[in-house]
Structure 1
Amino acid sequence: MNKGGLKKRFRDMRLTGKMVVIYLLAGLVPVMIILGITYMEMKKILWDRETTILKSYVSQTTDSMDNELEIYNNLSKYISYNQSIAKILSADQSAYQNYEQFSTVIDPLLASIMYFHEDVNQVTIYTDASDVKHGSTVAPLKDLADGTHAYDDLDNNIHWHIDLESRTAFSVSRMAMLEQKGAKGVLYVGVDYDSVFQPFYTETMFDNYGLIIEDEYGHMIFNKNTFADEQSAYELDVDKFDVLREMENSGYQFIDKTSKATGWNICVYKPNRLIISSVRPILIIAVAALLVSMLAGILCINMVSEFITKRIKNLQKTMKATETGNLGMVIENDSTDEIGDLINGYNSMSKRLDETVNEVYQSKIKEKEYEMRALQAQINPHFLYNSLSMINWKALEAEQEDISRITLSLSTFYRTALNKGKNILLVKDEIANIKSYLDIQLAMHDNSFDVVYDIDDSILKYETLNLILQPLLENAIGHGIDVKTDGRGEIRIEGKENGDFIDFTVSDNGVGMTKTQAALILSKSSNGYGVSNVNERIKLYYGEKYAVKIESTPGAGTKVMLHFPKRVEN
């Protein structure tokens, strides 16, 4: 049929038929296109967000595991390069002398490591310098199991091994200092299996995913999945996992990351169907609303064409705006006829789509981001480990009368710093924390600087954020007092009640800094936990106007000031 015949047939059609054609052409088709585009865009957005979440989860958990393993690696390096241990093991002396040296030096040192690190369950030195096994600390090199951790198979690096069946984890490394003295030695450090993979046991805001960790030889050493019972068919065993990961269209999304500390491959997988499954109910709702709208429109076609056309155009205009992403747009309507029902149906669909996108996706994504940021914000207590190492060394190498005081100070610092996992504590506990910290620092610096406390007793009963003074003191010592070349250093801590506020000041007579350096310390680009972290925590908890302030003059010293409201313990 030619073009002229179509026009004549349409012209001769009754008004009801014309309205049906107009409705189908001007209403139904655009709506279907809009819904199709909306569905595809929402599917893409959901896919990108789920992928971002998986990548963030893999990155954060892997980094957390590496940080924990680095602690054990540092312990291994400390023992491997310990000259006292190497000297004892390589010495040519009697069996009784060996036993006495092992019992008085090596045993306490290795036992203290397991005491202060509960996750370490075995520390053994295998060496060819000893033919007799001494407890669990020293054993002949021949007793070391063959395989990938035998002496000849090791290099100067630390190697981690996991046995999934026995759920054991340990690291092995050559004793570098012992080799310099002409002997062979391998350090074995056994760690609790669950503690190694603790970051991967943390609950997440998403589910229906699997996680497999393989060592550098491709052996599976950890496996986890969160699939619901009805989705259990998506779980992959090792063989199927290795096959599908190499396929281009496997039906799964695989996110990999390599551990810097061990060389292990951490991979999270999730079926593509489950990633986009959340958008299907929205499509069903949209299609149902479309069908209802079409039925209502056809039933109302017999109304006055001018009245119907006007409202349909208004509806069409709003739906086109929806295509650009304005899902919450509604049309004002005060009628209750069929077209009015059509408009109300569209309004309901638009609101429901908008609420679903905002609540189901955006809220969950933000919650996940906040959880990962909280995980990343965990503080690795390097100071505690360094202090414990110093105390151990003093205890083992010399009899010092100040060890009891140092140990007590460290205990107080540990208790107040961790604060049972709470972020809020009393001012008196924060003061106890910094006094313990400074007592230890004074011992470490041979009392080479002075500390002056000027704290009002009236502020001790109020609340404050945990660990806001210690980073300021650490900065004052490390960047002010330690680099001072003339005169005796002095640190002054002041705590005053100022009306409805509390003012803290930490000042030193160190080398000072420029305004540019002071601004950098307070910025997020500053390295480490430090002053910038304190600044961000205070602003987040009390408000932007309570930021940390720094006054400093090169060569004259630095003053750091805190100002925040008084709050009574809840």
Structure 2
Amino acid sequence: MGMPQYQRLKSHLLSLPYRVKLMLVFSLLILLTALILGSITYFQFAKSSQERTEEYQIQLADQINQNINRYLKEMQIISLSPLYDQQVLDILKVHQKPSTSTAFPPASERLPMWRYISSLIHMRNEIKGIHILANDGTIFSNLDSNSVMLKVFERNSEWIKKIEKADGEWVLLPLHQPNYYLNKETSVFSVARLIRDPSTYEPLGIIKIDLKQELIEEIIDNTNSKSHIFIVDSGNQFIYPNKENKIIEPSFLEELEDVTVKNYTSIPISGKDYMMVYNESSYSGVKTIMLTPRSVVFSEVNHLRKVMMVVVIIGIVISLLLGFILSKPLVQSIHKLRKAMDKVQKGNFSQRVEITSHDEIGQLGNGFNHMISEIDRLVTEVYKTGLREKEAEIRALQSQMNPHFLYNTLESINMLAITKGNLDVSDMVSSLGRLLRYTIDHSSKVVSLKEELQFIQSYISIQKVRMGEKLQFIEEIDLSLYNALLPKLLLQPLVENAIVHGLSSNGGAIFIKVSREGNHIKIKVEDNGKGITKKRLAELKRLIEKQKHTSSDKHSGIALSNVHERIQLFYGKQYGIQIEAGEQEGFSVLLTFPIQRMGEEK
């Protein structure tokens, strides 16, 4: 939003009726409070809900893996049983050489093998079938010939290679479609092992236990989880569920190698956010992956958000109603005051506001009544007051004395003294005239050093009339500094101090030395009078530093502090005066400030 639009909006809001402003303020206060408290509650509850869900899902994934491992251990034990049955081993030894015959094995072989396998599968409905494959391709199974082939002629299947590579260790086979089932769409995951002769260690065949997916479905159903659960083997091949139920690609599973065991993370799948929990079994390498939609994780949080929004809307409606009801008496008082002001604006100064309360509005009305009374009184007196002011101005103008009259009078006295031969009087009158002109002239606050020294010389001339030759005045001036500027009447108080407090008794000399030091001017005003004690010197320094004024019959702290303060006001805190003195050793003041010339004044 640009500045013009912001200014227009601000002007529009400020122009709204006072009652509307109150209602908006009430609503904004409730809305702001609800937003702050609601946000804190929402985020805390969301964080707590997510943490609880994550902890529960981690425990659940671990529990699923433990149940699967417990069952796989049972299947692994079953796969070892042929090694301990000599009749099974003897039958497998008969079928060592490959054969293309499809004839049934003799009943003397088939029946014992069927009884043996049936005993292993008894009361285990989750087992699809147990098959013992001889080296010649003959299959001994608990299933009949309507489901399973009598022989397997193809020995290059991946699952067979994987079993043979395990070299007698148990193998977990992921979902696959074995070639010995007549229904080629049959998918199973299996526990298998290569059978070797315990005495010769020669391979005799393979035992393969095919498991139904109902086994894992039963384990998952017991968890009552709303998550998508996937089971893969150590090679990231799916064990559960079938392909048509998968929502994640095998390529994504390769990235799981970098995910910490029992950790959780957030992943997007098909534009939808999921919380993923990952657990890997150290026994079987089985990985349980649980994907929970964020909408499920935050279902309670979303419900809380909706409830809070309803509460906020109800609160705003209530605040509008309360603002409308409670603001009525307040606005009525303001309207009465506004109507009274409109009448006063039209010239009716007899208008008054009825006071019904002692709050701020009542105080405002009381002040309005008092103000109108005063205006009424002033309006009735303004004419007489104006006449009295004009008369006073005329009398003031008549009583003013033109400074030129003083200068002309002094000049007349000067001429009379010269005519009478009183040259001392003439000199004194001329010096007094110069002093008056210098002090009365208010055209400039800063003067040149030359003008200030001429004023000091006139002042010394007048003082010499009183003290005679006892007063000596000595100057030592750097001529290049004559046009340097300084505050007007800066040196006179110091010279006066020297005469009044240092030389008034026995007389003496006053020295003024002006020199340059870099870009600074230094003016030293010194006398050889009676001086002051060290204690008094320390007191004056302290007063000058604190810029406090005091009066004394010895070197006035007022004059010194004033000069110090004026220099700092003109030039800055780093400039000012320094004083030095001793008893019967005179008194000196050193002024330091930057050099400024005409045209450089601040």
TM-score (norm 1): 0.41
TM-score (norm 2): 0.39
In our comparison, the structure showing a higher alpha carbon Rg is 2
